[in-house]
Structure 1
Amino acid sequence: MAVTTPVVKSSHRPLILTACMLSMFMAAVEVTIVATAMPTIIGDLGGFSLLGWVFAVYLLTQAITVPIYGRLADLYGCRKMFFIGTTLFLIGSVLCGFAPSLAWMIAFRALQGLGAGAITPIATTLIANVYGPQERAKAQGYLSSVWGVSAIVGPLMGAFIVSHFPWAVVFWVNVPIGLVAMAILLKYLPPDGERKQHKLDLAGTGYLTLSVAALLLALLQAEVLGYWALALIVLSVISEYLLIRQERKTPEPLFPLALWESKVIIAGNIGGLIIGATMMGISAFLPTYVQGVLGGTPLEAGTTLALMSIGWPLASMISSRLMQASSYRATAVLGGVLLLGGSVALLFLSPDSGLWMARLAAFSIGAGMGLSNTTFLVSVQNNAEPAIRGIATASTLFTRMLGSAIGTAVLGATLNLNLQYRLPQVNDPVQQLMEKTTRNAMESHHLAAMIESVAASLHWVFMVSAIISVLAVAAGLLIPAGDRPHTEPQQES
């Protein structure tokens, strides 16, 4: 399928990159900025029992639609799909600010997620279309750095807004950012090139939606659902089987055959899955260790985690030079080694450790994320033909999101099983250690025993995370040796 890629003036490329970075920031910051504001929102709207769904429904609808938008972008054009997705996201943001109850907010968050599913994969694909293979790595490094910046800025922005403005502004702040991004692309990004008439594989889309929704619900709500989570996993497996059968017989599959014939794209998808799972080992559980075991303050936990967010964009920005000087494979393996080194460093933490070891591990893992994530993404985009670049990009991002959900479930289960084994009679020991009042009221010997048990339980979490990190190195080795950006031909028509 021939695709005509619109020609973009070199002077317009930085503006398009800026617009894509703004849109990515808008979608990336959404989770952290809302999390900071939720206590205020709950105090106003009530509905504490539904709190988890405010985040789960956004991630669920976003994850489901990422591959669908990726394929739609290939069939109907990135520009068109970007405007549709961003418009849905902004409408959902405005409505969230007017939500009269938490139930309505969950519905509007679902609409936000339906739009957010377009923003990240299509913005990333737009940059791949605008920049050639040699420039692509550097541009994607800037785009990837947005995630690190948003992780730092989001909580600070959320705290400032709820302190000085109504909580609705947390959602409405997206509107000017999104409108500026759309205005820039409307002016400087040419219309999509000519495309033949196509039909979206509706049956495949339905099976994909059912499979992903069932799996993510089972992972995100496992504690609430109990044994029903197993039924959802069975439903997901059955839907996945039906999807594969549908993809083999349909003339225009949702996931084109070329995706599964390329070793580079397969490596990128495996790498995305592993990176997503590894990331949760530090994002979710290192702050718990700092506060619960080391007795640190929330600020100390936040600054420790911030080092991961600093290491990520720094490594992303130098990944371009490393890829061109060595290869995709060498850069991805180096990223995996940094991930593994940071994960192993977490194993040396003890209740008597200082914060320096935790912060060194966080920075190393962030740098590994930056190198690995950017390398896998750029290698996939440079390997994919323009006609399937959208779904190839989306599949890599989708597997990373899926990996995050799986990692959260596996590592969370590891922690809970260890706590039940070591402290069977104690209700929520981690929360007791993290609450200063409860912690200070404990007798010294009881506090020491609980700290030791929680530390040992988290040690097993970090052990599993380190094992997953080994797979990140293996995923890098799947990339064919010698491939690098400047050896690949310019694929745009």
Structure 2
Amino acid sequence: MSVEENEATMPGRAMVTLALLLAMAVAALEQTVVSTAMPSIIAQLKGLDIYPWVFSAYLLAATVSTPIYGKLADIFGRKRILLFGLGLFALGSMLSGMAQSMPALIAMRVVQGLGAGALGPIVLTMLGDLFTLQERAKVQGLFSAVWGGSSLIGPALGGVLTDQLSWRWVFFVTVPFGLIAAWILMRYVHEKVERKSVAPIDWAGATLLAVGSFLLLMGVLGGSEISTAGTVGLLATSAVMLVLFVRQERVAADPVLPLDLVLSPNIGAAILGSFLIGALLFGIDTYIPLFMQGVRGGTATAAGQMITPLFLSWSISVAVAAKVVVRLGFRRTAAVGSFLIAAGVLSLVVGAARPASPVYIFLNGMVVIREPYFLAGMVVIGMGMGPASLSYILSVQNQVTWGRRGVATGAVTFFRTMGGALGVGVLGATLGFMLAGRIAASNAVGIDIAAALRPETHKLLTIPQLAAVQEALRLSLRDVFLQMFAMAILACLCSFGLRGGRAIAQGSQTTNELDREAVELAVGIEH
């Protein structure tokens, strides 16, 4: 669809924009609203050993399906694919909220993730169809604000819904917005699909990538139910699938993941850095609530309040980074951001190494946990996330021609999300291994660990049992944060592999090698 056709066939362009804003908000909110409810979910459904799968399964399904939806939108039209994605996402959300066991919840999160994979790319594509280049820059700011605001309120909203209603409402809450967006699209979008010749969909590549990644996660997250031989078998089979994936991408007419981009040294450094940033971001979103509730005895609302400063400072830092990156260049900007992230994660390690701190209760009954190291860590990490992640994306965009900018940006986003899925899995394996050893060493075998994850269920344990579980969980999560610190240091090293980005002064004129539109688009992606 061209812009001119849209002006003729979409008189309600403002309504369509509203629908796209709602779809974007649904996708952003879902990434953060669930985390603060997870300790309560574990307390009811059990399954602490497969806890990371709730996040990894969703991220993996969304990530692998994203490039397929982009190609289907070119063949069948944006409206049909976006409606399908919204419908599948709503179905997965409802079924997740009704799950009666942890395996059932994980399965429904896969359905939800398959729907979410259509939302981001199709929304951005329809923006390009609806608005001219000049208009797009203005609209992008609105979408960035919606994405940032949704991400910001997600943890706090998840905590309030869990404490006041039920954890099930963190899944139900997005359904009405998705249905409203779908109704608007059906009412106002009259799409004329042009049948055109496109390269065949790389189904083989997508399947090999999905199966290989799934088996890799199974090998990492299998838990105590899978033997050592079974784990080795899963990892070996995963390696075979991923090798076959590389071979397939070399011959595919339109590969899911162009290998020449990944293998380029400068782009490879940015992609690896983005992978680590994704692992850190989703690791924080997954394990900070678990620490605040399982170790410190706080509510879901208090856990949400602890994460919120990260997204607030990130929203501020990415706006500042967009202005200073042309002065410092990609390498220096990414290095500053990466070192801030490392410093923030180190603050988490220090906070987790401290014994339990007192809890303060205000007159309105809201519990606030006194954790200065965690609060400072969240703010500093957010301050680093903006310049680091923005520099990685801009560096890749600056290394390719305009015609490949979309696929290059998609590759960075793909690896960041995949980093989140695999990173949460690796950290979860660390947590499970260390926690099992410490529980056995403290003679607390047989204690219901899930009962320690919510203040309401503490009464199910004796005081010595609760103390033993909380201490074992504290030390195990400290080890998780140490592992995250190592990832942050690796991200610092990746930043030194970037190049370019600095403005070059020529007389009274300043020539910037960055494309202004690319900066604006990247800021929108980061939020």
TM class, shorter-chain normalised?
A: 0.7 to 0.9
Match of 2:331, SS?
Answer: helix
Match in the other structure for 1:442? 463
Shift of 1:26: 0.8
Whether contact under 8 Å (1:61, 1:114) holds in the other structure is yes
How far apart in 2 are the matches of 1:297 and 1:306? 15
Amino acid in structure 2 at the alignment position of 1:23: A
Match in the other structure for 2:258? 256
Provide Cα deviations, 1:102-132, integer angstroms capped at 9, x if missing partner.
Answer: 9988766544322211212444566689668
Whether contact under 8 Å (1:290, 1:355) holds in the other structure is no
How far apart in 1 are the matches of 2:389 and 2:475? 30
Does residue 1:478 correspond to 2:481, yes or no? no
Match of 1:480, SS?
Answer: coil
Match in the other structure for 2:22? 22
Provide Cα deviations, 1:314-364, integer angstroms capped at 9, x if missing partner.
Answer: 323333223344333333222212211101112322116641111111121
Match in the other structure for 1:400? 416
Choose from 290, 306, 309 the match for 1:307.
Answer: 309
Match in the other structure for 2:387? 371
Taking a change above 3 Å as real, the CA distance of residues 61 and 298 of structure 1, as seen in their structure-2 partners, is: closer
Whether contact under 8 Å (2:86, 2:178) holds in the other structure is no
- The RMSD of aligned alpha carbons is 4.8
Whether contact under 8 Å (2:295, 2:474) holds in the other structure is yes
Match of 1:487, SS?
Answer: coil
Choose from 167, 174, 178 the match for 1:175.
Answer: 178
How far apart in 2 are the matches of 1:48 and 1:345? 30
Does residue 1:488 correspond to 2:524, yes or no? no
Amino acid in structure 2 at the alignment position of 1:245: R
Taking a change above 3 Å as real, the CA distance of residues 270 and 415 of structure 1, as seen in their structure-2 partners, is: same
Shift of 1:15: 8.2
Whether contact under 8 Å (1:6, 1:193) holds in the other structure is no
How far apart in 1 are the matches of 2:469 and 2:390? 41
Match of 2:257, SS?
Answer: coil
Q: 1:85-234, aligned counterparts within 5 Å?
A: 85-90=85-90, 92=92, 109-124=109-124, 141-142=144-145, 145=148, 146-157=150-161, 169-170=172-173, 172-179=175-182, 182=185, 186=189, 196-227=197-228, 228-234=230-236
Match of 1:348, SS?
Answer: helix
Provide Cα deviations, 1:181-233, integer angstroms capped at 9, x if missing partner.
Answer: 7479948xx97899643211232222222212222343444444444343222
Taking a change above 3 Å as real, the CA distance of residues 376 and 434 of structure 1, as seen in their structure-2 partners, is: same
User: Which 5+ residue runs of structure 1 have no aligned equivalent?
Assistant: none
TM-score, length-scaled by structure 2: 0.72
Whether contact under 8 Å (2:208, 2:244) holds in the other structure is yes
Choose from 330, 355, 369 the match for 2:371.
Answer: 355
Whether contact under 8 Å (2:97, 2:169) holds in the other structure is no
Whether contact under 8 Å (1:96, 1:171) holds in the other structure is no
TM-score, length-scaled by structure 1: 0.76
User: Which 5+ residue runs of structure 2 have no aligned equivalent?
Assistant: 358-369, 504-510, 519-527
Residues matched between the structures, number: 481
Taking a change above 3 Å as real, the CA distance of residues 106 and 431 of structure 1, as seen in their structure-2 partners, is: closer
Taking a change above 3 Å as real, the CA distance of residues 469 and 236 of structure 1, as seen in their structure-2 partners, is: same
Taking a change above 3 Å as real, the CA distance of residues 320 and 223 of structure 1, as seen in their structure-2 partners, is: farther
Match of 1:114, SS?
Answer: helix
Match in the other structure for 2:525? none
Q: Which moved more, 1:177-186 or 1:236-245?
A: 177-186
How far apart in 1 are the matches of 2:404 and 2:421? 26
Whether contact under 8 Å (2:35, 2:286) holds in the other structure is no
Q: 1:420-435, aligned counterparts within 5 Å?
A: 420-423=436-439, 424=441, 425-427=443-445, 431=450, 434=453
Shift of 1:274: 0.1
Shift of 1:142: 3.6
Provide Cα deviations, 1:377-419, integer angstroms capped at 9, x if missing partner.
Answer: 3444565545444443333222222222322232233333333
Match in the other structure for 1:66? 66
Q: Which moved more, 1:319-328 or 1:462-471?
A: 319-328
Match of 2:380, SS?
Answer: helix
Match in the other structure for 2:276? 274
